Amino acid sequence: MLTNSRDNDATTSPDLVELDAQAVRLSLALAETISPGDLDKPTPCVGWTVHGLLAHMAAENDGFAAAYDGDADPAPWKWAPQAADPVATYQRSAERVLTAFATRDLQRMMPMVTFGPDVTIPAEQAISMHLIDYVVHSWDLARSLEQPLTVDGPLLDKAWEVARMVPEDGAARTDPGAPFGPRVSWPDEPTLDGLVAYLGRSPSWPAATG
């Protein structure tokens, strides 16, 4: 989990919601290129196929949208790995989260039951978490599908700001199911490859795993 954004102004930009939407739209553009033959391809997320990654991303969208609406039910966070049309399922989830966040109430408290039954965090912190997830998962999809991906400008800057808030060691990197892995050796540069390496992906995937 990110450190508390109240102690760091990195997540308070008025452009946060639009930047998150840009990340979601990147993932949508990639998802819409997926054919049935792509669904069983491996991804940089160990153990996940493209189908599994899409299911995870759809569940995260639904979970964040529900939490933004004050829903503490864990059901929206649950995967539907056997969805008959995983791309359509993902498209619906993306529309749901974009619609929810568009009201731009960054100060509301969101029940994040995925972290525990009593965990609530400000929307600005939650949306920042969503942004970094969808930048990285867009990279995951692009690599799996052998598609180009450009992340630069304010979106890349914001992603780096949020990434620097992820502890460099501890549970966020090493626990089973942790969202990010230990940092991968890579030139320390403010690029997309540098970002994914900082968060535990190998920019050389699938040629190297870290």
Q: How far apart are CA 203 and CA 125, in angstroms?
A: 27
- Record the pTM: 0.89
> CB of 131 within 8 A of CB of 16?
yes
Beta strands, E only, the chain: 109-111, 120-122
- Residue 12: its pLDDT value, please? 44
Q: How far apart are CA 177 and CA 171, in angstroms?
A: 10
Name all domains of the chain by residue range, CATH numbers in brackets: 12-152 (1.20.120.450)
Cα radius of gyration rounded to whole Å, the chain = 16
Amino acid at the residue 28? L
SS3 5: helix
Matching residue, tokens 């929206």: 76
- Residue 170: its pLDDT value, please? 84
* Residue 174 CB partners (closer than 8 Å, separation 6+): 181, 182
Number of alpha carbons in the 13 Å side-chain half-sphere of residue 52 = 11
pLDDT in single tens digits along all 210 residues of the chain: 444 333 344 444 449 999 999 999 999 999 999 999 999 999 999 899 999 999 999 999 999 999 999 999 999 999 876 678 999 999 999 999 999 999 999 999 999 999 999 999 999 999 999 999 999 999 999 999 999 999 999 999 999 999 999 988 888 788 887 889 999 999 988 999 999 999 999 999 998 554
